[in-house]
Amino acid sequence: GAVVSQHPSRVICKSGTSVKIECRSLDFQATTMFWYRQFPKQSLMLMATSNEGSKATYEQGVEKDKFLINHASLTLSTLTVTSAHPEDSSFYICSATDPLLRTGPYGYTFGSGTRLTVV
């Protein structure tokens, strides 16, 4: 079935540095990628939606300059957390839709998530 590979699974970085998280669709073309943030024991909060070749659409309250999203190809989307601070520590998950519906009717495929710790 459809797979989204997300890397890294865990990352620890120093405050003030930037971290890049990658999501690759391995066997389908992800025209739309969703980026979520999840705090412990809470739900997934949508941060932004990106469509290949165009600028991402950010949810209200999400800082565009801090969370840079690039979706330059149909198989790769990246989230860069710039000038990270301890409050950015969280679990980040990507999710893709496949226009050819190989993810299943109305389906979404999720990456395995990235646990970011900023120290």
Nearest-approach distance from CB 27 to other proteins, in angstroms: 17
The secondary structure of residue 89, as a DSSP letter, is -
Is the CB of 16 or the CB of 104 nearer to other proteins? 104
| Residue 15 vs 59, nearer CB to other proteins | 59
For other proteins, the binding residues (CB under 8 A) are: 31-32, 34, 38, 41-44, 46, 49, 51, 91, 93, 95, 97, 99, 104-108, 110, 112-113
What residues contact 110, with CB distance under 8 A and at least 6 apart? 4, 93, 94, 95
> In this structure, are residues 114 and 20 in contact, taking their beta carbons and an 8 Å threshold?
no
